[in-house]
Amino acid sequence: MRTREALCMMMLLWATTWSVCWAQTDSVATDTASAERSLVLNGVSIEAQRRPSLLTRVANGVNKFFMDCDTNYVTPQKYQLTAQMELSYWHDYYFLSSSETNNTMVIQSDPSAILGGYVYYSILGYGAVWNLNDLGIPAGKTNGTSLRQTFMIHTAKIFAEYYTFNSGKGAEIRSVTGIDLKGLDRTFHGLDSRCNGLSAVYLFNNRHFSWPAAFGENAVQRKSCGSWSVGFQYNHQRISFDKDELPDYLGAVIDSTLLFTHVDYSDYSVNVGYSYNCVLGRNVLFAASLMPSIGYRRSNITEAQEEKHSILNNLSTDVNLRMSLFWNNTRLFSGLIFEAHTYSYRKNKFGLTNTYGTIKYVLGFNFWKKPQSKY
C-alpha cells in the first residue's frame, strides 16, 4: 500500500514539473516569435538592424583604404579640424646662360616675408598667405608674391596639392659675366614670374611611414621609418623680362643672347624619390624628402630681338627637396619646414634655371575630436 502511494506521488510530481517546463518553453518561443513578427511588421529585420547602412560601409571602406596605418609606427589624426598659422621667408634665383658666348647672368628676387594660414577638414586643406613686403609699396614695384593659394589632400597613401603664386618683380642683379658690379646700382624691377601647378605623390610604405606627420601636421610618427615614393607633377610658368628696366650702364653692354621677352612653358614630369622620418624623441620628428624628376616640357620663348621661336618638345630635369623639424602632441604642433624647387629651361643657345626656396615656421592646433578615436 505504501509503495503504491509513493509511486503515485512520484508520478504526480513528474507530471507537474513537465507541465511547468512546457509552459515556460512555450512562453519564450511565443515571446520571441512575437518580437520577430513585430520587427518584420515594422519593415526591419534583426539582420538589417545589426548591419550598418551601405553608405556607412562604403565610407568606412574608403577611410580604411586611404588612412589605414600600423599604430605601432604612426598615431593617426584624432581630430576633424586643424587650424594653422604660417610665417615664412621666400627667395628666388634666376640663372640665365648663353651657350653661344658662355656668358651668364644671375638675378635674385628680394626676400619676401610671408604671413598666412591653413585650415584642414579631415584630409582636405586650404591655405592662403600674403607678402608683408608689399604693404605700402606702389603697384608694379612689389616682388609679386601678394597672394599664394594652396589646395591640398593629405592621406596615409597619397599627398596631392594645387598651388598658384607670383614672384620676381623686386629683384637684384647679382652677377654678369665680364662686368664688375661692385658699387653700382643693381636694382631690377623688370622680372615677373607667374606659376601654378599640380602635384601628387604616392607612398609605398604607407602603413609605417607618414607623410602627413612630416609635412601635413595631422599625424605623429612614433618609430623612425622611410619610404620610396612615386609622383606626378604639372607645372606652368610664364616668366617676363623687361630689358628697359635694366640699369643704364648695363643695358648698353650686356650680351644680347642673355635677353628674352617671355618664357612660357608647361612641364609634365614623373618623379621618384625617397623620404625618411627620424623620430628624435617623444613627439619630436625630423624628416627629409628628395624627389628628382624627369619630364616632358612644352615651351616657347620670345627673345628681346622680337624674334619668336617655337621650341621643340624636350626632356626636363628638376629637383624637389623638403625637410622639416616638428613637435606634435596630437593636439598642438609647432615646427619648421624647408622647401626648394628647381626648374630648368634649355634651348640650343639659351638656358634659364629658376630656383625658389622657402623656410616656414608653423604653429597650430587640432580640435573637434573624431568620435571613433579611442586614444
- Mean local confidence (pLDDT), 114-124: 87
Pinpoint the alpha helices (H) of the chain: 2-41, 46-50, 54-67, 211, 248-251
pLDDT-derived band of residue 192, with 50, 70 and 90 as boundaries? confident
Confidence of residue 137 (pLDDT cuts 50, 70, 90): low
Residues β-bridged to residue 200: 160, 232
Q: What percent of the chain has pLDDT over 70?
A: 70
Confidence (pLDDT) at 323: 93
pLDDT higher than threshold 80 for residue 8: no
HSE-CB at 102 with a 13 A cutoff on CA atoms is: 1
DSSP structure string for 213-242: IIIISSSEE-S-EEEEEEEEEEEEEEEEE-
Q: Is the pLDDT of residue 139 over 80?
A: no
pLDDT band at 105 (very low <50, low <70, confident <90, very high): confident
The CA-based angle 245-250-254, given to 5 degrees, is 105
139's grid cell: 603697384
Report pLDDT digits (tens) over 10-42: 555 455 544 444 444 444 444 544 544 444 445
Q: How confident is residue 126, by pLDDT bands cut at 50, 70 and 90?
A: very high
Q: 94-104 burial, b if ≥16 CB within 10 A, otherwise e?
A: bbbbbeeeebb
Which cell numbers in the block locate residue 375? 586614444
> Which of the four pLDDT bands, split at 50, 70 and 90, describes residue 375?
very low
The string of pLDDT tens digits covering residues 212-238 is 888 876 788 999 999 999 999 888 888
- Looking at residue 338, what is its pLDDT? 92
Q: What spatial distance separates the first Cα and last Cα of the chain, rounded to whole Å?
A: 77
Helices and strands (H, E) in the chain, number of each type: 5, 18
pLDDT band at 285 (very low <50, low <70, confident <90, very high): very high
Contact yes or no for 351/90 (Cβ under 8 A)? no
Encoded amino acid at 39, one letter? L
Contacts of 120 by beta carbon, 8 Å cutoff, 6+ apart: 81, 82, 84, 152, 154, 216, 218
Considering the domain 75-369, what is its CATH architecture?
A: Beta Barrel (2.40)
Rounded CA separation 46/277 (Å): 48
What is the pLDDT, as a whole number, of residue 57? 65
Is 80 exceeded by the pLDDT of residue 168?
no
With b for 16 or more beta-carbon neighbours within 10 A and e for fewer, the 237-271 pattern comes to bbbbbeeeebeeebeeebbebbbbbebbbebebeb
Say what the pLDDT of residue 230 is: 93
Q: Cα–Cα distance between 375 and 366 in angstroms, integer?
A: 14
By three-state DSSP, how is residue 14 classified?
A: helix
Lowest mean pLDDT among 90-104, 159-173, 194-208, 304-318: 304-318
Residue 44 has pLDDT above 50, yes or no: no
pLDDT at 275: 93
Average predicted confidence (pLDDT) for the chain = 75
Does residue 368 contact residue 78 with C-beta atoms inside 8 Å?
Answer: no
- The predicted pLDDT at position 28 comes to 43
Tell me, what's the pLDDT at 301? 58
Give the separation between CA 217 and CA 302, rounded to whole angstroms: 43
Q: What is the pLDDT of residue 236?
A: 85
What is the pLDDT at residue 178?
77
Q: Which of 36-45, 61-70, 150-159, 268-277 has the highest mean pLDDT?
A: 268-277
